[in-house]
Chain A
Amino acid sequence: MSTQFRLFPLALVLLAAAAVAEGPGLADPAQAARLWSPEIRSRAASLIGLGPAPELTARLADVGADPALDPVGRDAVLYAYLQLLRQQPPQRQSDAALAWLSVYPAQATVLHAESASARVPLFDVAARAQGLANEKRHRLMLDAVATQAPDAVLDGDRTAGAGPDPTAIAAAVAALPAAPRAAWRAAIAGRPDLADGAPGLFLALADRDIGLAQRRLLRADPALASAGLKRALATLDGVDAVRLCGAAAAHRDPGVRALAIALGTRAAQASVALLPAWQDGLRAALADPDAGAAAALHLARLLDDAEFAALKASAGSDPQLQRRMLLIERLRAAPGLLQMDSGS
């Protein structure tokens, strides 16, 4: 049994629909272990044996009302069924069954971790089913990207409702080998919304087309620009990453500008050749009313005492720069603040 298949939402730490402590009695949290009992696993396995049969939903409903099982047992069987179903190919996961399970009301509840009275499901069957439905859509999308013509996938993706993260498709496309990626590139180029969206940006990054990526990044909304910058740092070499981050420092959104400063600094730190020029850029960025604080944070980390003294001396009497110097000073003085390398 692999690790992730033994995970399920338990009462003390997992949160679900809260309700005041009324109605059926609370379950003992220790009953969570019944999920792994042979009886429960066996009944779940028998349901799996039905595949996506038309009568599956009725059989699931039978379990939910089975007088031979107590509330914990009923919920446990259905939850175990979902665990096993997840190992099946998407085509064997019944949409009707997932829809029914997605609204299944828990029968066994325990106290919420932060409450003396509110209850949460011992086994959150509904949430588990909704998650599996999401995962199924994701897996089907991956299959489609790998096997279908781009236009067919792109047209089919325009369905409403919760589904794969928008950047997931873009990431899947960008991960394709060069030849199929070329077909996608052509398809996306003909669709301005996609060209200016995640697919266009991620493809440009995958192609190492820095000029195109730069243009698309600057046009992107803040959310996409941020995702794109993070992806750039993961996929590009240092020089290209620094170049792209430098360009993104002109983005209209101050959050993106500041993020570009942060990520660009990380990329530049990997290269002795890149760092000095980047540091000059940080010094210049200090005056930016918004993103200048990001430059201050990174200069606080990068500069030694002498370099900081020189920077301070060069700041002149400009009140904004003086405040930024004070910010650097405070950040350098915060115990342990700058030593931790987060984002590992």
Chain B
Amino acid sequence: MKRWPILSWLLIAGAAAGQTLVDWTQAPGRLGLGYPVPIPEDTPIAFDGFRSYAGLHARHQQLLLEAPGFSGEVVGQTLRGRDIWLYRYGGPDAPDVEGRTRPAILINGGIHAREWQSPEVVTGLMELLAAGGDDRHWLGYLRENTNILMLPVLNIDGFLQTQRYPRSNVLDSDPQFPQSAPRDGRMRRKNLRNADEDLFSIGDHLFGVDLNRNSSPFWPGPPINFSPTGLTHAGAFPASEPEIQALQAAAVAAPGERLRFFADMHSFARVLFSVQTGNTRRNQIQSGLLAMASQHHQALPGGVVYTDVPEPPNAGIGTTSEYFAHAWQVPALTWELEPGSAGGVEYGGFGTNGHDGFILPESQIRRVRDNMALTLAAVGYHMAGPPHLLALQVIDEASGALVLDRQWRPGGPAGLRTLDQRQLQAIEPGRPYLVWLAFSKPMRWRDDGGAVVPFPGRAESAIAAALELRLGGQPLAAQIGPPQWSAQAAMSPQGFRRYRDDAFAVRLLVPDSAENRARIQQAGPDARATLGVDVRDMTGHRLDALPATPVDWQGGHWQGYEDADGIAGDTGGPDRQQQLPLTVSAQGGLFAIDAGHSGGWFDPSRSGEGFLLEIIDGERAQVYWFTYDEHGAQRWLSGLGEIQGNRIRFPQLFVTTGGRFGPLFDPALIEREVVAAGEFWFGGCDQGWFDYEGLGRRGRFQLVRTGRPMGVDCAPPPGAIADPRAGQGGSWYDPSHSGEGFALQWLGNGEMLLMWFSYDPDGRQYWMVGTGRLEGDEVVFRDLHATRGGVFGPGFDPARIERFFWGDLRLRLGCQRGEAHYDSVLPGFGAGSFDLHRLTGLRGLDCQGP
């Protein structure tokens, strides 16, 4: 390899000449940019400048180790043997919230070495997702429902070469444009095939393969460039380069059949070179998607405009985006980042050589990085799929009681959703209701002041919602108020369901007019009005009008995305699947939860797990859910809920870790983790339901009582306490053992129902249950038992529950203090005692005394 000393190299005019990039000064051999020459820095954290590859890689690995939702894998090696990393946000193994395999989108960065904006932007997306994944809004939605694959630096060898020489390149050597095309060093584009990493060994500096010319189906062009020294050398054959093989491996690992989008991030020109195939539906979806992305980006600070420039159908030059569009039938494009066509002059640069467009000023990269991350997240939100109306609840405005509940649930035959309905009453004319509608994704954007506004780039009309009632195919006169979107975690109708602004409530009144009554009577006892709901998500998707058939992506278009007539396509339409029962007959009053709902509750089909519910003062309730983990071991959850009408909502059900049974228990080691949310609602004194979502599951229990508590009845007000002992009911704990305790209630039959939520000697959650009787001044539990064999979620089989004797327990209780003595027959538990303090008391059961 011929080496030229640097001093002479700078002076030589002829075969190759050195060029030094400087900030402002112009002189022979020096190119003034008009802004400071960006120098990569070895820092992982985004700043107003560019990060070195070591810095970027450190950042990626940090996110992998520290940010929830991230995983990573090596998908190949560069020519020089460097690992090419693929990172994921949301994994292929973790199902979405409905238990389905997640859709995937793939963003590739750093294919062309000198385009430093590209790795920064892909890393910026990773950083946005890491920072916002707990937002309970669109980023949280992405974390729970998508599989976003990010390959920040594909051409690592070339990228390192540009960073090794951030101020230098070689001029006068390009075979086609010797006077104008700087090569290698800061201006390297290709990989390092047959080239070394020494800028000053001139003989090989033009070699390399253009990785964006190395893909089927249009390899090798035209234009065809088989010259190894050519700037766009296509390589020996399609995917001849290990870097392209790694990218294709990333697609397969996605997995490929779940891919819905691909972008290859480049610079510069601010254009979106989108690929068109013979699949017109795919082309149209892509066009709409990129229009949304462009409008979104333009609405962000800076007002930067990206223009979609679709390629002619079935034509290409060998790019990666062509490969993805044709091989995987997904929207795919070459995304040319800032600056625009004029290059650095946009930022006050001198534009002496148009190549300065590859050198974005450091003063701009933060904006470019942050804004583009938002737009790419918007693309992910859009391609995650259209929304559907997931749940409807009708709430009696006067009492706050839930009278109708309809929810689409996954898990039906052939992957379909099934509509689960509970109806307590029908809609009566003249009676005001609140109708709460929840959707499958966050649907609205808010400004900094909290007002619902169109998503950036969308028109004001995009946030409209149209609702109508029809009876017998004809409109039914009804007053439907404006939608109130829910940004707070609360029970319906005020709260959202899973993500902020995934639900809204409207006030509904069917006027008690003669005409309405006549029409309802004419429709008969099963009169049902159809509720039409027409609303779009943040990026413009209309509803999937037939939620029973989940939307997917197959063959380069949406599948199962029906309009109001049930015809599958790519546009959706109003949902008309919701039927509201109507009646003009007098219905009974609606009851509200009161003290009598305290007690043990369980689903008869799931004997072996259940709930101990405490209705306490202040319209609140405490629940203990004794259940199992995924492996057959016991687990218990607890939480504090709010009561509204006939419902109790528990927004945070948590599990604890860090406990040990017995004297090794250290309250300082107890950690609480919120893992689920749930809601009880009751149709009467002895009948109810429990809906939950969490721990990777969503489900509904149909509940009956295990027994009624002593001293309170279901109907308020509670009568006089028959036995003053009843007031002892509630939760008790030993302050030196905060993190475990007892929930107990006196039952009407004179027994005490008790749940002991604790840990086993190995530190796992553990619970015991039993009933005790008064013996002297003690409550004695002679048959305290534990269980094993249950499984959380739908795999639960009551026949596999094994109940076994744990030991006995004796309680001596006052009203505020007490003591407990236990003696276990099981190894590791032993005998011991607790100094008990009251934590909660049941509503309606007073207890006077110490």
Return chain A residues, CB-CB under 8 Å to B13.
3
Per-residue interface assignment for chain A, residues 24 to 59, with 1 indicating a CB less than 8 Å from any chain B CB and 0 otherwise: 000001101100100000000000000000000000
B180 CB to nearest chain A CB (Å): 5
Identify which of B45, B163, B348 contacts A255 (C-beta below 8 A): B45
Q: Are A12 and B232 in contact (CB under 8 A)?
A: yes
Residue of A2, A6, A259 near B49 (CB, 8 A) is A259
Stretch binding the partner chain, chosen from A64-72, A165-173, A308-316: A165-173
Any chain B CB within 8 A of the CB of A8?
yes
Interface residue B295 (Cβ < 8 Å from any Cβ of A)? no
Q: Contact at A327–B312, with CB atoms within 8 Å?
A: no
Judged by a CB distance under 8 angstroms, whether A118 is at the interface is yes
Asked whether B268 lies within 8 Å of A15 as measured between CB atoms, the reply is yes
Which of B361-369, B632-640, B698-706 participates in binding chain A? B361-369
Instruction: Contacts A128-B351, A164-B348 given; indicate if A8 touches B36 (C-beta within 8 A).
Output: no
Q: Are B271 and A116 in contact (CB under 8 A)?
A: no
Could you count the A-B residue pairs with CB atoms below 8 Å apart for me: how many are there?
306
0/1 string, B349-378, CB within 8 A of A gives 1: 111111101000111001000000000000
Q: A4-B30, A10-B181, A223-B363 are in contact. Are A124 and B312 (CB under 8 A)?
A: no
Find chain B residues with CB under 8 A from A337 CB: 53-54, 57
In whole angstroms, how far apart are the Cα atoms of A33 and B171 in the complex?
Answer: 16
A130 engages B44 (CB within 8 Å): no
- Which one of B29, B80, B271 contacts A18 once the chains associate, using CB atoms below 8 Å? B271
Task: Tell me which residues across on chain A come within 8 A of B311, comparing CB atoms.
Answer: 115-117
Q: Within 8 Å of chain A (Cβ to Cβ): is B336? A: yes
A215 interfacial by beta-carbon distance below 8 Å: no
CB distance from A76 to the nearest CB of B (A): 13
**Contact status B315-A116, CB under 8 Å:** yes
| Contact between A131 and B48, CB atoms less than 8 A apart | no
Verify if A152 is at the interface (C-beta below 8 Å from B). no
Verify B351–A14 contact, CB threshold 8 A.
Answer: no
CA distance A326 to B66 in the complex (A): 11
CB distance from B54 to the nearest CB of A (A): 5
**Within 8 Å CB of B34, what residues of A?**
131, 134-135, 138, 164-165
Give chain B interface residues in 331-350, CB to chain A under 8 Å: 334, 336, 340-350
- In chain A, what residue has the closest Cβ to B42? A262
B165: chain A residues within 8 A (beta carbon): 344
Q: Are B361 and A165 in contact (CB under 8 A)?
A: yes
Any chain B CB within 8 A of the CB of A84? no
Q: Which residues of B contact A320 (CB under 8 A)?
A: 66
In the complex, chain B residues whose CB is within 8 Å of the CB of A335: 81-83
**Interface window among B20-28, B296-304, B803-811:** B20-28
In this assembly, does B591 line the interface, its C-beta being within 8 Å of a C-beta of chain A? no
Interface string of B155-189 (1 = CB under 8 A from A): 00000100111110001100011011110000001
- Report if A330 contacts B (CB, 8 A): yes
Structural contact, A226 and B57, CB atoms closer than 8 A: no
Instruction: Check if A18 sits within 8 Å of B48, measured CB to CB.
Output: no
- Whether B39 contacts A343 by the Cβ 8 Å rule is yes
CB < 8 Å neighbour of A226 from B47, B164, B268, B361 = B47
| B58 at the binding interface (Cβ < 8 Å) | yes
A12 CA / B66 CA spacing, docked (Å): 43
Check B82–A297 contact: CB distance below 8 A: no
Chain B positions 1-51 with a Cβ under 8 Å from a chain A Cβ:
13, 17, 19, 23-24, 26-32, 34-36, 39-49
Task: Tell me, yes or no, whether B266 is within 8 Å of chain A by CB.
Answer: yes
How distant is the Cα of A331 from the Cα of B42 in the complex, in angstroms? 13
Find B41's partner among A6, A168, A254, A259 (CB 8 Å cutoff): A259
- B83 to A: closest C-beta gap in Å: 7
- Tell whether A273 is near chain B: CB-to-CB under 8 Å: no
Does B55 reach chain A (CB closer than 8 Å)? yes
- When the two chains form their complex, are residues B49 and A114 in contact, meaning their CB atoms are under 8 A apart? no
Cβ–Cβ contact A162 & B346, under 8 A: yes
Contact of B57 among A114, A118, A227, A334 (CB under 8 A): A334
Name the distance in Å between A102's Cβ and chain B's nearest Cβ: 9
Check if A307 is an interface residue, CB within 8 A of chain B. Answer: no
**Within 8 Å CB of B435, what residues of A?**
none
**Would you call A331 and B52 a contact (CB within 8 A)?**
no
The answer for the CA separation of A323 and B52 in the assembled complex, in Å, is 22
Take A165-B361, A258-B45 as given contacts and tell me if A124 and B61 are in contact as well, using a CB distance cutoff of 8 Å.
Answer: no
Please determine whether B36 and A227 come into contact, CB atoms closer than 8 angstroms: yes
Given contacts A255-B47, A340-B164, A343-B40, contact A8 B180 (CB under 8 A): yes
Q: Is A127 an interface residue (CB 8 A)?
A: yes
Task: Identify the stretch in A184-192, A206-214, A275-283, A288-296 within 8 Å (CB) of chain B at 4 or more residues.
Answer: A288-296
- Is the CB of B438 closer than 8 A to any CB of chain A? no
Does B317 touch A at the CB level, under 8 Å? yes
**Quick one: which of A222-257 are within 8 Å of B by CB?**
222-223, 226-227, 230, 253-257
Q: Are B31 and A7 in contact (CB under 8 A)?
A: yes
Return chain B residues, CB-CB under 8 Å to A342. Answer: 40-42, 52-54, 160, 163-164, 166
Contact of A294 among B45, B352, B363 (CB under 8 A): B45
Interface centre among B65, B218, B266 (most CB of A within 10 A): B65
Q: Does A13 sit at the interface, judged by CB under 8 A?
A: yes
Q: Is A180 an interface residue (CB 8 A)?
A: no
Does A165 lie within 8 Å of B363, measured CB to CB?
Answer: yes
Q: Is A216 an interface residue when CB atoms closer than 8 A count as contact? A: no
> Contact at A127–B62, with CB atoms within 8 Å?
no
User: Is A146 an interface residue when CB atoms closer than 8 A count as contact?
Assistant: no
**Interface status of B212 (Cβ within 8 A of chain A):** yes
Chain A residues 169 to 202 lying within 8 A of chain B, measured CB to CB, are 171
Task: Given A131-B34, A258-B45, verify A117-B350 contact (CB < 8 Å).
Answer: no
Chain A residues in 8 Å Cβ range of B357: 14-15
Closest to B367 in A: A223
Q: Determine if B319 is an interface residue (Cβ-Cβ < 8 Å).
A: yes
Q: Point out the residues of chain A lying under 8 angstroms from B309, CB to CB.
A: 18-20, 115, 117-118
CB-CB under 8 A for A256 and B345, given A13-B355, A127-B351, A128-B351 = no
Please, which residues of chain B bring their CB within 8 A of the CB of A204? none
CA distance A300 to B54 in the complex (A): 11
Given contacts A4-B353, A222-B48, contact A330 B43 (CB under 8 A): no
Which residue of chain B is the closest to A141 with respect to CB atoms? B24
Residue in B24, B45, B54 whose CB lies within 8 Å of A168: B24
- Given A8-B180, A165-B361, A297-B43, verify A223-B366 contact (CB < 8 Å): yes
Flag if B24 contacts A293 (CB, 8 Å): no
Report the separation of the CA atoms of residues A117 and B334 in the bound assembly, to the nearest whole angstrom: 13
Q: How far is the CA of A77 from the CA of B13 in the complex (A)?
A: 25
Write the chain B residue with the least CB distance to A136. B350
Residue B36 contacts which of A165, A293, A301 (CB distance < 8 angstroms)? A165
Q: Tell me the smallest distance from the CB of B75 to a CB of chain A, in Å.
A: 15
For B160, what are the chain A residues with a Cβ–Cβ distance below 8 Å?
A: 340, 342
Q: Give the docked Cα–Cα distance between A294 and B316 (Å).
A: 42
Smallest distance from the beta carbon of A160 to chain B beta carbons, Å? 12
Q: Of residues B34, B165, B232, B362, which shows the largest number of chain A Cβ atoms within 10 Å of its Cβ?
A: B34
CB distance from B645 to the nearest CB of A (A): 43
The 4 A-B residue pairs whose C-beta atoms are closest, nearest first, are A131-B351, A9-B354, A255-B47, A258-B45
Interface pairs (8), CB distance under 8 Å: A7-B352, A9-B353, A168-B23, A168-B35, A297-B44, A301-B54, A342-B52, A342-B164
Which residues on A are within 8 Å of B, measured CB to CB? 2-4, 6-10, 12-20, 29-30, 32-33, 36, 86, 111-118, 120, 124, 126-128, 130-132, 134-135, 138, 162-168, 171, 222-223, 226-227, 230, 253-259, 261-263, 265-266, 290-291, 293-294, 296-298, 300-301, 320, 323, 326-327, 330-331, 334-338, 340, 342-344
